[in-house]
Amino acid sequence: MLLSGRRSRAHSPARTVAASAVMCALLLTAQFVLSYVPGVELVTALLLAFCYFFGWRCGVLTATAFSLLRCFIFGFSPNVILLYLIYFNAFALFFAWMGARRRPVAAWVCPVLLALLALGALAAALADIPVSALYAGRLKGMAWALFAVMCALLVLYAALLVRGGRGRETASLAALAAFFTVCFTLLDDAVTPLFYGMSHEAAFGYFCTSFLAMLPQTVCAAVSVLILFPVLARIFGGARKTPPQTLDE
């Protein structure tokens, strides 16, 4: 009976819609305010924590509403709408599943992801990237910065692994957030050239220049999740009051 009462509260459509609406407004505000600061975003950290604690129903509803409503602020671009709908729904499902697991990912997963990202950044820093001379220096600088941040996260993760508890969970989520952010850019590199029917050469140029946006965003996602997740966990954990609906199912 008690379980049934808890389930009905957690599954209440009004509750789901209300939580999603508030979160969607928060995401739109965060994206709009920070759109004036290149490479800085908080959407990843906010949505991640929300999906983690509120489950896949709220997560998918928020991700879909956010992807569509942001067009009123940033304009209607079909390729961007498609990109956001695919990416943020996949993001919501994944981190809701992570929250529902009630245990951190295997200890080896995050170091492997971080090492993979660090190696990718190192390769970009050392390689001769075929872009304009005006972009090459900045790209290499950003690649080195990303490499340094990934190495720092690896060290931090090792330290948190030793400490255990929520620290390890936060470090895992930060690594996964960085990985997802890279996937977002790679998805854009596939969707946009396909949508506009770009030639292979133009698509490759688009891929190279997309690094300019990807590198600071990846660093920002990792760092913002690392710093904000413990705070957001307290806020969302307190606001939810009931276990995530996915735990009850």
Q: Which residues bind other proteins (CB under 8 A)?
A: 38, 130-135, 138, 199, 201-202, 205, 209, 212
Taking alpha carbons only, the member of 216, 227, 186, 222 closest to residue 40 is 216
In the complex with other proteins, the residue whose CB is nearer, 120 or 205, is 205
User: Is the Cβ of residue 150 or residue 220 nearer to other proteins in the bound state?
Assistant: 220
- CB of residue 136 to other proteins, shortest distance in Å: 8
Nearest approach, Cβ of residue 124 and other proteins (Å): 16
CA 167 to chain centroid:
18
CB of 133 to other proteins, least distance (A): 5
- Of 29 and 132, nearer to other proteins (C-beta) is 132
In the complex, minimum distance from the CB of residue 197 to other proteins, in angstroms, rounded to a whole number: 12
**Which residues are within 8 A (CB) of 63 and not within 5 positions of it... i.e. 6 or more apart?**
47, 51, 85, 88, 89, 91, 92
| Residue from 150, 145, 174 nearest 45 by CA | 174
N-to-C CA span, the chain? 15
- Residue number with CB closer to other proteins (25 or 198): 198
Query: What is the spatial distance between Cα 115 and Cα 109, in angstroms, rounded to a whole number?
Result: 10
Cβ atoms of 45 and 221 within 8 Å: the answer is yes
Is 38 or 164 the residue whose CB approaches other proteins more closely?
A: 38
CB of 201 to other proteins, least distance (A): 7
